[in-house]
Structure 1
């Protein structure tokens, strides 16, 4: 190939120019990328990461960690993009992280209506923010929980950051089964066409062993974690079947895979969720309805505070010597799963922090 004859290959909007280097007796590859697409950037390590953050980046999520914040607010974009006249005209979704916030993900989420239970705190709250960010605000969010004030606060924060978004905060205690029918039937007209159900509401009471477990604790855990999840899913499933598509995301736990002493009832409820989820997926195999389960390991939220009935010192001891996951870590997985191509089902995901290998095997730096 003569030295003046370039070889061009266009891939993902990137020009590759292959030139013969006579003095070195070989070939040299010149990459020119005026503004490469985000999904292609993983292999280009020299790119700048100083990109304007998301409008929601300043909102204090629960116990953010520096490494996580950096992940949320950075996007691998070459420094040359900032100098390119085309950069200013790009959609703001280019300035997002690759995993949940790519342009393809945003287009798949655009205009969807998402219902999240247990949305006032923890994983549910983080998932609401993650959907808003990933869609660039082109989304409707139905947020339910028992605490109205917290839901209204989330609505205000999201709609301020993304004026195009619509957030419907609605009080619902999923353990009160008759309330589920009323809730669905009375949804605002513009929020009735639900595309995604995130069954996140769940709780645990106590660490008592079998023989000394209060019946009230048994009742509230099964009513919330199992019966409420099943009732809401059954209420919405006819809508999904009529549409011929939709996503049902059930939040399970490592406890549903590996029971442990002091967790008999909670583990039983999460095992029930896993069985229900797997059965539902098999029953819906002839449809385009995706059934997704996300099972977190150790996550630091209000979960342990509730387990120890408000005793913060006991709750804090659970995380002594470890760096647990935070709610946003699980929210990213949820949104990533929902924002895949319609033919892709991330059916079952177990998420651990790096110090955890099972429900009981953890490395603590004490």
Structure 2
């Protein structure tokens, strides 16, 4: 897949990896439809570009099916054709157990992370099918294949993205649309703040304690674009993701112990003991 003269739709384009995807795709000669629920953030992204005429911004709630359907028609009208879709938008949860997580948070996680991706994919596939070559890139997470204590429902939403994307790739295998599953590890972004979490900052000492080596949004976007360009079925982003992918496939129990140990060091207070569960 070459990006020159292609039109690519990117969700979550108001910052972090999404913003970098927009900027790097433009550098490769593509035009971009930047999508985010935050209009101010979208405008900031556009203002960072050297060729703003090749960027259209679209304030859209991806959980709204009708709004997403209208978005697809709008992008086609503005750009004339659509060659690619990167479903990057997503949120995480506070580090608390399934037992302590409220229903509205669970619904929000599934609606944005999974149904948002599904809405966008369904709405844009007919337009992608019109092109001689096209692609869909769906962002899952390391937490989508490896259970992370305190992030179980976030992981469940991203696991749903993983399985749906892998199934979609098979379903579209005889079409012109390639499908890539994108799995990031730890990325240096404001996702905690943008998810509306109470404690949105990750302290430097916590990163060192956990042995976390975060990938920059620039590097993550570079890896994603390179992987899509090579038509990769699975794109692992970050050394932590590559290591844990290997460990979980061949030593799942050990991998689970490692991630649990890390979470216990930094979020030990989240784990309910049996007495607490019985009392409730």
TM-score, structure 2 as length reference: 0.80
* Cα distance in structure 1, aligned partners of 2:92 and 2:80: 31
Q: Is the 8 A contact 1:206 1:308 kept in 2?
A: no
- Note closer, same or farther for the CA distance 1:291–1:318 as it changes in structure 2 (3 Å cut): farther
For residue 142 of structure 1, give the secondary structure of its aligned residue in structure 2. strand
> Contact between 2:144 and 2:156, CA under 8 Å: does it hold in 1?
yes
Find the counterpart in structure 1 of residue 16 from structure 2: 122
Check the 8 A contact 1:308/1:315 in 2, yes or no: no
Offset at residue 171 of structure 1 (A): 0.4
Question: Larger Rg: 1 or 2?
Answer: 1
Distance in 2 separating the partners of 1:183 and 1:355: 33
Distance 1:193 1:142 in 2: 11
Q: Is the 8 A contact 2:25 2:31 kept in 1?
A: no
Aligned match of 1:335:
225
How far residue 311 of structure 1 moved from its aligned partner, in angstroms, is: 2.2
Is residue 38 of structure 2 the alignment partner of residue 144 of structure 1?
Answer: no
Write the distance in 1 (CA, Å) between the matches of 2:54 and 2:31.
5
How has the CA–CA distance of structure 1 residues 177 and 206 changed in structure 2, closer, same or farther, with 3 Å as cutoff? farther
Structure 2 partner of 1:347: 233
Using the TM superposition, give the Cα deviation of residue 244 of structure 1 relative to its aligned residue in structure 2, in angstroms. 4.4
Cα shift at 1:162: 3.5
TM alignment of 1:1-366, pairs within 5 A: 108-133=2-27, 135=28, 138-158=29-49, 161-162=50-51, 166-187=54-75, 189-306=77-194, 309-314=197-202, 318-321=206-209, 322-340=212-230, 345-353=231-239, 357-358=243-244, 361=258
For 1:120 and 1:183, how far apart are their aligned partners in 2?
Answer: 16
Q: Secondary structure at the match of 1:242?
A: coil
1:128-169: per-residue Cα shift (whole Å, max 9, x none)?
111122x1xx321100111112211221221xx247x51001
- Cα distance change of structure 1 residues 139 and 349 upon mapping to structure 2, 3 Å threshold: closer
Query: Over residues 45-99 of structure 1, what are the superposed CA-to-partner deviations in whole Å (9 max), with x where a residue is unaligned?
Result: xxxxxxxxxxxxxxxxxxxxxxxxxxxxxxxxxxxxxxxxxxxxxxxxxxxxxxx
Change (3 A) 1:166 1:333: same
| Matched-pair contact (CA < 8 Å) for 1:251–1:295 | yes
Q: Which runs of 5+ in 2 are unaligned?
A: 245-254, 263-280
Normalized per residue, which structure has more helix? 2
Distance 2:60 2:187 in 1: 24
Q: SS at 2:197's partner residue?
A: coil
- Superposed CA RMSD: 2.5
Distance 2:61 2:151 in 1: 23
Matched residues in 2 for 1:333 and 1:174: separation?
25
TM-score by length of 1: 0.62
Equivalent pair of 1:298/1:353 in contact (CA under 8 Å) = no
Aligned residues: 248
